[in-house]
Amino acid sequence: MSRCGPHPLDRCVREDSGQVLAFFAIALVTLVGMTALAIDVGYAYFVKRSLQASADAAATAGALELPDPAAAANRARAYSGSDGGKNWKKSLPDGVATTVMTRCLPTAPCNPVNAITVRESVIVKTFFARVVGVDTLKVSARATACSPCGARPLDVMLVVDRSSSMCTTTAGDPDPACTDLNNAKEGVRAFLEVMDPTSDSVGLAVFPPAASRDARCESAPRLLYDSPTSVYTISPLSNDYRAGGVLNPSSALVKTISCLKIGNGTSYANALEQAQAELEEHGRPDAEDVIVFLSDGGANYGPAFYGNTSPYRTQPCRQAVDSAATIKAKGTSIYSIGYDIHGVYADLCLAFDDSPEVPGMATEIALGSIATSREHFFVQPTAGELETIFTRIAVHLTGTRLVDDPEE
């Protein structure tokens, strides 16, 4: 309804002007509410991205400690976005809650766990959305990392020192229990427990060598170095070392590890070269080639058939470093373990006549130079368990990465 004045030019005044104002007010409130909600949702999305980055970092860090569930969980929490965590950021609200779970994924061997899941959540207070009754928003993120992940096939040659010092104490006294050699055996077994026989082949070479593969369980005198027919690779590449989730007692590799006996004399170069020869002869073209090398002291001998002026005889450590360089140039990765290398005589690299190498080379320098990089060199400076080092190498080989979470 409208009113018009008596003059024909008078404007009409509509009584619905109040209704227009009411509609405008409602639309304005709605627009403000939507804008406020958009601002708060945008901030919540920003928080979620920061939270996801934190969860990814925590899961990846934790996976580096697998398969130890307690160590993995502790490391993940240390790298979380919770207060005090290394990934706490000012962009994150206070009160980030972190939960950690370790478990088995079916993609790789699991003993006892091979994956870690990190969940992080936080309550975000809204700035403007509370006008429409939304006071808080819950934001969460989740990440899972595995290690091992079973992503790539590997051909691995283990090269183990079985010289007589592996059955002596750090002081050089006889050790009838052969503690060092047994620690090495346990380390190798721990390595095999992480590897995946469906994709990873593993073989074993030793020094001193054996007279033949059939004599692999016999002790090895120094003179076996001097025969060009002696055998360093006493267990060729195989993938039967695990069955039903445990080590296979019928495997030739597993049985050989158990029956190893000590020999006399330490010479690296030929053992490394023969391990590489096994990778080239029986390795798979689609697999990554790896050598894991362990010694408890400096090289002190070289095969006599090279002649007394050969660097194999006069500079056995230097020759091993040079041989390793040739191997690495072919694409093989070398992990090196220095075990109890600061005991009596362990620091010295000697020529075949027991004189020091010229120029001199310390054992730790030699073993570190054999490795592909500093990250590939591990030192156990005193006698002790080797399972942790071998497990770390196996985990490094099999990979640590974020994976799509099957529970999501």
Q: What is the pLDDT along the chain (408 residues), one digit of tens a residue?
A: 445 555 544 444 445 555 555 555 565 555 555 566 677 777 888 888 889 988 998 998 898 888 889 999 999 999 998 888 887 776 678 889 999 999 998 877 788 999 999 999 999 888 766 766 778 889 999 999 988 786 679 999 999 999 999 999 877 889 999 999 999 999 999 999 888 898 899 999 999 999 999 999 999 999 999 999 999 999 999 999 998 878 999 999 999 999 999 999 999 999 999 999 999 999 999 999 999 999 999 999 999 999 999 999 999 999 999 999 999 999 999 999 999 886 555 678 999 999 999 999 999 999 999 999 999 999 876 666 788 899 889 878 887 788 886 555
Residue 396 burial by Cβ neighbours in a 10 Å radius (0-12, 13-18, 19+): middle
Exposure pattern of 251-282 as b/e (b: 16+ CB <10 Å)? bbbbebbeebebbbbbbbbbbbbbbbbbbeee
Model pLDDT, residue 180: 93
Pick the CATH number of 154-403 from 3.40.50.300, 3.40.50.12780, 2.60.40.10, 3.40.50.410: 3.40.50.410
Model pLDDT, residue 118: 96
Domain ranges for the chain, please list them.
16-146, 154-403
Model pLDDT, residue 1: 47
Angle between helices 69-78 and 17-63 (to 10 degrees): 140
Helix (H) or strand (E) holding 121: strand 115-125
